[in-house]
Each structure stands twice: as structure tokens, then as C-alpha cells.
Amino acid sequence: MTVLIRPDLAALDRIDPLRPFRDRFALPQGVIYLDGNSLGALPRATAARVAQVIEAEWGRDLITSWNKHDWMALPGRIGDKIGRLIGAAPGETMVGDSTSVNLFKALAAAVRLKPGRRIILSEPANFPTDLYIAEGLAALLAEGHELRLVEPDAIEAAITDEVAVVMLTHVNYRTGRMYDMARITAKARDAGALVLWDLAHSTGAVPVDLNGAGADLAVGCGYKYLNGGPGAPAFLWVAERWHGEVTMPLTGWLGHAAPFAFETRFRPATGIARGLVGTPPILSLAALECGVDILLDASIAEIRAKSLRQSALFAQLIEQELAGHGFAIVSPREDGARGSQVCVAHEHGYPIMQALIARGVIGDFRAPDILRFGFTPLYLGYGELWDAVWVLKEIMEDRSWDRPEHHARARVT
């Protein structure tokens, strides 16, 4: 492999077809942001749109905005927009609540579609909230459901006729490893099990084709690659073929067939609307839509091509520039098995990441020893990859990572 120099990366920036999208984000000076997989950057349109919703809609039109500005349509309208990024048909996706709450809905719905089966199959390194929600649901149901955790390579063999639902995060939050969605889904279907995909680290980052794969349920996150803002509403997707029989566990008034009839008994709405629970969070939805709209203007194929090139180059630069400093690349090197991040293990990962952040290179740390770097092709340039690795090299060579302030544990890591 030839040695990379900074002009190679600058040249890639000059021919980058996604380069114009960077101007649609408000990025701070002096920061190289490699954490859009944790909190996406701020779209330039968001502040004005949220101000409009606050001042012109809420402030001026008050309660009449539910009709006048069709606030009630937002969960479905934004859901359909996200649906275009994940291979969903219109009417299959709704936005609202958190990813965790949507996981609960989807998982409860799944196990009730498979009443004779007791196994929820996942992997021990899944994102913890997925496992906790499953554990909590099994305890609540008290019907002997078991959360069975097997390593990724053993998932397929573990999909037996006892399995109600295979619950996996498509791209692992810590390693960036990506499952073959079509393959796992087909294997589950053959065994009569359902598949619930958590697309938190996929949506807006890698091409997803839920209907093409024949998936059953999915959830995803609004504040990572969709750039919807901190704690943005999440989404729930249910394949249309299940809409007639799916039973939601959180039967709030907005999932009712006629919410404003104020009936005493629950009758579920038709379609994905039965996944709605409470009153939609309008300010947050408005912000999310600004982020989603940018994605819809871009080509997910171009995003994926740039993401793979960026992650491969970043890994190559780590190896080229930081040999002998104790870093081990954890993420898969094979393109088809890698999401949009590169995770690097180091025994001093925590203080090294704090030192990087102090120098304006922002990634994050995942216990016990992972430095995580995410690639967001809409606003991250190639030259920045070089600069980030250069800062990392300086930190390692002058051992500035070992200063006491970088060892202090923050509340949020």
C-alpha cells in the first residue's frame, strides 16, 4: 500500500460530489467532528424552522395549529421521509418517542405475533438499551420469555423454531460491524421467526432496504446520522403485511382509531398510526425534519461510497502514522461488514480521547477501551482525516494524553 500524504486527501475533497452539503450545516471553527454517529451536527435550516414553529405557529396560532399547520401529520410525514432512507413503503414508518420506547413497542408486538415461542435472540454486545428493554419486557410478561444472547457469528445457527424474534442492531455501536440484513432476515423467515432491526447506526449512513430484505419490524434514532438534534424523536417501522394483526403494548390515545371521539375503549388505528402513543413533540419533530430533508437531497449511494472511503483511509492513516503506539483497529476492514465508523482499541483509550477532544478532535470513548470515530460524509472532509490523525500522533508522541485532567471521568462519556 502506498504511503498517504495530506495532498492525497485534499485532492479527494476537491472532487467530492457531496462537498456542497457541508454548507448546509453550521459547524464550529477549529473542530474536527468525528462523532456525528453519537450526535449529528446542526443543519443551518434548523434554528429558523424551530423559531418559526415557536413564534408563528405555537405563539400566534396557538391550539389552532394542530389543524392550521397540520401538526398532527408530522409523525407520519417525517416517518415517510425516513422510510425512503430505509426501504420502507409509505405508511409503514412513524416518528415519536425515544428509540428505547419504540424498541419496547416493536419487541412486545413481535413476541405477541409469535405466541408459542419464548426466545428473544440477540448478541451480548448489542447496544445495552436493546438488551435492557428486552429483559424488562420478559420480566413484565412473566410468560417465561428468555433473552438468549449469542455471539454474532453464532446468530444464524441459533435461529431455531423456538425463536420468536431476532433482535439485532444492524451496525454495532461499539465496533461498527454490520450484519448482512438480507441473509439474517431470510434465515429467520425460514425458521418462522421475526426480525427486529435496530437501525440507530444505519439510517442515513448506509443503504438499508427493509422491504427488500423482507424484514418485519425496525426502530431507529433521529439524532445520529439524521441530524435531528439532541434526544430527537426516534422512529418505528412495521412491515405492512403485519399491520392487520400487530398489537401495540403502549395504547395511548393517539394510537386510537378516532382519538378525538374520546371513546372509553381502545380501538387501534389502521396502519402504523397505531404505533403512536401520546401527543407528538412538535418542536423536536420540526427540528428532526430539517435534518431528514438534507438526507433526502443526497444520494445514499454517494454517502456510502464516501463513508467507506473515509473509514478505510482513516484506518490506513492510523496504521501508517501510529504504528508502535498500541492502537488496534477493532472495526471490520471488509467494506461490506463495516458501518460508518472506525473503532480503535487502546489500553489508555479514555484519557487519549479526552486529550483529542481538548485539541478539537471530537470522537468518543466506549468502555472499556474503545476510541470511536464516526464518519458523516455530508459534512466531513477528507483533509480533516489527516489532520485528526496528526493531532492524535502529537498527543501520543508528547504523551500529553497522560495529563491528570484527561483522566478525570465525565458524567457522560
Active-site residue identified among 130, 274, 372, 379 = 372
* 198: annotated active-site residue: yes
- Closer of 14 and 409 to a second copy (Cβ): 409
In three-state secondary structure terms, 361 is strand
* 127: annotated active-site residue: yes
The values of phi and psi at residue 318, to 5°, are -60, -45
Enumerate the H helices of 114-165 as residue ranges.
128-141, 155-158
Q: How far is the CB of 211 from a second copy (least distance, A)?
A: 26
* 216: annotated active-site residue: no
Q: How far is the CB of 97 from a second copy (least distance, A)?
A: 7
Q: How far is the CB of 149 from a second copy (least distance, A)?
A: 7
Active-site residue identified among 35, 80, 198, 364 = 198
Distance (Å) of CA 194 to CA 110, 113, 148, 255, 352 = 7, 9, 15, 23, 42
**Cell triple for residue 223?**
439524532
> Is residue 137 a contact partner of residue 122, using CB atoms and an 8 Å limit?
no
- Closer of 71 and 237 to a second copy (Cβ): 71
The values of phi and psi at residue 202, to 5°, are -115, -45
* 97: annotated active-site residue: no
Q: How far is the CB of 2 from a second copy (least distance, A)?
A: 34
Q: How far is the CB of 157 from a second copy (least distance, A)?
A: 21
**Cell triple for residue 132?**
435492557
Active-site residue identified among 224, 274, 306, 359 = 224
- Closer of 277 and 313 to a second copy (Cβ): 277
- Closer of 1 and 261 to a second copy (Cβ): 261
- Closer of 213 and 356 to a second copy (Cβ): 356
The values of phi and psi at residue 18, to 5°, are -90, -5
- Closer of 109 and 213 to a second copy (Cβ): 109
DSSP-assigned beta bridge partners for residue 196? 167, 217
For the purposes of burial, counting CB atoms within 10 Å of the CB of 112, is it exposed (0-12), middle (13-18) or buried (19 or more)? middle
Active-site residue identified among 25, 104, 223, 379 = 223
Active-site residue identified among 21, 33, 104, 127 = 127
> Is residue 159 a contact partner of residue 180, using CB atoms and an 8 Å limit?
no
Residues 317, 102: Cα–Cα separation, whole Å:
38
* 223: annotated active-site residue: yes
Q: Give residues with Cβ within 8 angstroms of 154, minimum separation 6.
A: none
Residue bearing cell 460524509: 377
Residues 309, 293: Cα–Cα separation, whole Å:
24
Residue bearing cell 490506513: 316
Q: How far is the CB of 174 from a second copy (least distance, A)?
A: 8
Rg (CA), the chain: 22
Catalytic residues: 127, 198, 223-224, 372
